[in-house]
Amino acid sequence: MTYDATGRLLLTPVDKEGPERARRLLRLDLGRRPEAAFDLFADRLAEVTGAPCAMVNFIDEKRQFFAGLHTPDGGRDGVGPSAARRSEARDHGYCPHVVARRRALVLDDVRDYPRFAANRVVDEVGIRSYLGAPLLDDRTGLALGTVCVVDTEPRLWGRSGLATIKEMAGELMDIVRGRVDPAA
C-alpha cells in the first residue's frame, strides 16, 4: 500500500481479491505477455475515444500488465507505458482503483483529486486525465483488470466517454469469454 506524504491518504487501494484474481488470470493465460488481439483492441479504443494512449490491463497481486497497448507514435512507445515496460507496480496509475471499486473511473483532470494527483504517473509520465472501466468476469465475479485511456491534457470525458469505456470493457470481456478456460 502507498500513502501520501502525510501518511493519511491511502493512494493504492487494498486488494483482497488479488490472490484469487492472479489464479484466475493464470488459468485464462492472461496478463503474462503482450497479445496482438489486445494491441489491436487498444488501437481501436484510442481511435474511438480520441485519446493518445489506450491500454488493456490485467492486474495480479503485485503488478499490472498491459497486454494491449496503444501509444501516440504507433510503436507501442511514448506517453504511458512503453513496449519495454509493459509491466508496472500496483501503485502506479489508476487502474488498481477501478479494479478495487469494480466501477468505471472518470478523471477529467487528475490534479483536481488529491488521492489521484499524488500518483507518480502525474509527474513521471505526464498523465493529466484518465478514463477506465473494469473487466468483470461473469463466471467468477472478479474484476480481472481494466480497459483505459489516458491523456497528457485535461479532458472532459462526459457521459458519452463513460458509456463508451463501459461498452468497450464489455466487448473485451466477450473476447476473454471466448478463450479456453480449463476450469469451465
Structural domain boundaries in the chain = 18-177
Q: DSSP code of 138?
A: T
pLDDT tens for residues 75-127? 544 444 444 468 777 777 788 999 999 999 999 998 898 877 777 677 677 78
* Beta-carbon count within 10 A of 62 CB: 12
CA distance 168 to 132: 10
Of 7 and 176, which is predicted with more confidence? 176
CA distance 57 to 124: 19
The predicted structure's pLDDT at residue 74: 65
The predicted structure's pLDDT at residue 20: 94
Sign of the CA dihedral running 160, 107, 48, 135: negative
Q: How far is CA 18 from CA 44, 53, 167, in A?
A: 29, 26, 25
CB 108 within 8 A of CB 154: yes
CA distance 45 to 170: 12
Q: What is the mean pLDDT of the chain?
A: 84
2-6, 34-38, 128-132: range with lowest mean pLDDT: 2-6
Which of the four pLDDT bands, split at 50, 70 and 90, describes residue 43?
Answer: very high
The predicted structure's pLDDT at residue 8: 47
Of the candidates 107, 12, 113, 108, the one whose C-alpha atom is nearest the C-alpha of residue 63 is: 12
The number of residues in the chain equals 184
Superfamily of 18-177 according to CATH: GAF domain (3.30.450.40)
The arithmetic mean of pLDDT across residues 126-130, rounded, is 86
